[in-house]
Amino acid sequence: MMLLETRNLGRSFGGLLALEELNLKIPECGLHGLIGPNGAGKTTVFNLLSGFLQPTGGEILFNGASITGLPPEQITLLGIARTFQNIRLFEELTVLDNVLVGCQGRSRAAWWQAALRCPGYLREEREFVARSQALLVEVGLAAVAHEKAGQLPYGHQRRLEITRALATEPRLLLLDEPAAGLNPQETLELLDFLKAIHQEHRLTILLIEHNLRLVMNLCQHLTVLNHGLTIASGPPNEVRRHPEVIRAYLGK
Ligand SMILES: Nc1ncnc2c1ncn2[C@@H]1O[C@H](COP(=O)(O)OP(=O)(O)O)[C@@H](O)[C@H]1O
Ligand SMILES: [Mg+2]
């Protein structure tokens, strides 16, 4: 069974069809790339999958069940996490606290238990701190756990945003242009990092990325969008030879 499937998924804004009839099929543990020129509708796909936007057509199935129309918090709990094209961190909070925010999405404590600092809440909070620290060790950010997130170098901010997404314990991770703004060395490190977390967390990854070397190195399957339409879909080596892809995207 597919972990993620979209059936004729679409979204329009007023008269603009940002996305039309998208049919994705991503198996468990798959590495799937979503590429296409600016304005193709890629981020719109992520906004739909994560519940930030409602579709104007079609369906989204996650692990075989419809999640169409569910709110973002519920989609997070089901196991879909995302990062943003423009990094969104709590810049004034520490690195550790940013990861804790990810963990707290899974809290079983009610707000009043937190307010009264009940024993169950305190125990859970200690577990979250321990888990966040372990994650920071895993991703190589333990040494900067107590620094403000906004003060990290750019590459580490990207890594932290992905780590916060991991803290929600996703099965599907949506990455929106994670290599944007990174230098070639940082991009290579990102590639290794993504391979490592894919293995370690048995993740399924859907990646939007302009850096084709990264995409070709990581992904088993690509979907190419242009003006909201799917113009090609298949293994990277087939897709890169597709005439319409070359014309719309690679050739520019
Ligand atoms: N919230 C929105 N309201 C109106 N138009 C939008 C909105 N989000 C995206 N669009 C439009 O939809 C199209 C696709 O945008 P987007 O999904 O961000 O493309 P990409 O990520 O591929 O660059 C663009 O024309 C964009 O202006
Ligand atoms: Mg985008």
Ligand 1, residue 41: give the atom nearest the CA.
17
Which tokens go with 185?
Answer: 């060395």
Q: What's the one-letter identity of residue 74?
A: Q
Query: pLDDT tens across 203-224, in order?
Result: 999 999 999 889 999 999 999 9
- Ligand 1: which atom is nearest the Cα of residue 11? 12
Q: Is the per-residue pLDDT at 252 higher than 60?
A: no
Cβ–Cβ < 8 Å for 36, 247: no
- Pair 69, 9: CB distance under 8 Å: no
Q: How far is the CA of 230 from the centre of ligand 2 (A)?
A: 15
Domains along the sequence of the chain with CATH: 2-250 (3.40.50.300)
Q: Are 33 and 209 in contact (CB under 8 A)?
A: yes
For residue range 128-153, list pLDDT tens digits in order: 899 999 999 999 999 999 999 999 99
Q: Which residues of 75-91 are buried (b: 16+ CB within 10 A; e: fewer)?
A: bbebbbbbbbeebebee
- Phi, psi (5° rounding) for residue 8? 50, 40
b (16+ CB within 10 A) / e for 203-227:
bbbbbbbebeebbeebbebbbbbbb
The DSSP bridge partners found for residue 57 are 10
Sign of CA dihedral 110, 114, 120, 122: positive
- Give, as one character, the DSSP assignment of residue 94: B
Q: How confident is the model at residue 241 (pLDDT cuts 50, 70, 90)?
A: confident
Q: Which residues contact 91 (CB under 8 A, 6 or more apart)?
A: 148, 149, 150
Whole-prediction pTM value? Answer: 0.93
Digit-coded pLDDT (tens) for 154-193: 999 999 999 999 999 999 999 999 999 999 999 999 999 9
Question: How many Å lie between the centroid of ligand 2 and the Cα of residue 28?
Answer: 24
> Which of 12, 13, 34, 49 is the pocket-test mutation for ligand 1 (most atoms within 8 Å of CB)?
13
